[in-house]
Amino acid sequence: MSFVQAFFGEKFVSVMADGLAGDGKGNIISEYFEKFKVYNDDFVFGVTGSSRIMETIFDDVERLVNQYPNGRVMGMLANTIGNAKPSDNIDFLTVIMFDLSGESVVGMIQKIGETDISLMAPRGQEIKYLGSGPKDVSADLINAKIASLWKEAGEISDVAQIKNIQLKLNEFVSSQSPSTVNNNVKTFIKFI
């Protein structure tokens, strides 16, 4: 499994992912796997699941981004992921996507085989969170930790504060599920 998380607002996005990757059969194959990629400086795609599946999807996304506008790529990927049938190898796959090419950030999260997606475009000072974590750490527990970290941070004035919250959140999730999440993180921050 994996932990891919993002905080984003109308004018920025900050994505972070741990580096632990497995082969889908319980074997660790990398401590420093890149679980999200940035294409054309304007399209960010992150995914959880086995490394084999991630690499295949990253190749497919690169091909699409080179052929179509970002908004259309998001729609095509959402349709493909929503219509996919979960199997033993990919029942937990979740994707996070961001289109940074417009006037504001548009983010999306979707699980394989589910047509319900969360598509968000924050307004003003609003900051949104998207994330996908290990099955053995409840979303409620992660959300409670986020609320605690926000409260501790006080007023958020820059992306460095958000990155610090993301690091603390990753440390928390990796302490809850050390066999599936580590602290070897990769970060992407962009203002638009």
Instruction: Give the residue among 57, 61, 55 at the shortest CA–CA distance from 40.
Output: 61
What domain range is 18 assigned to? Answer: 4-191
pLDDT at 92 over 90: no
CA 50 – CA 8 distance, rounded (Å): 26
Which pLDDT band holds residue 121 (cuts at 50, 70, 90)?
confident
Note the pLDDT tens digit of each residue in 35-59: 999 999 899 998 887 667 777 788 8
- Quote the number of domains for the chain: 1
Sequence-ordered list of residues with C-beta below 8 angstroms from that of 112, at least 6 positions apart, any chain: 81, 84, 86, 90, 91, 92, 93, 94
Note the pLDDT tens digit of each residue in 140-179: 999 999 999 999 988 887 888 999 999 999 999 999 999 8
CATH number at residue 162: 3.60.20.10
Which pLDDT band holds residue 69 (cuts at 50, 70, 90)?
very high
CA 38 – CA 44 distance, rounded (Å): 4
The structure tokens listed for 135 are: 């099955």
Q: What is the total residue count of the chain?
A: 192
The structure tokens listed for 150 are: 């926000």
Distances (CA, A) of 106 to 24, 51, 140, 144, 159: 30, 26, 24, 24, 17
For residue 90, the model assigns a pLDDT of 55
CA 93 – CA 55 distance, rounded (Å): 13
What is the dihedral angle through the alpha carbons of 35, 10, 103, 94, rounded to the nearest 10 degrees? 30
Using the CB atoms, write b or e for 91-106: b if 16+ within 10 Å.
ebbbbbbbbbeeeebb
Note the pLDDT tens digit of each residue in 54-65: 777 888 899 999
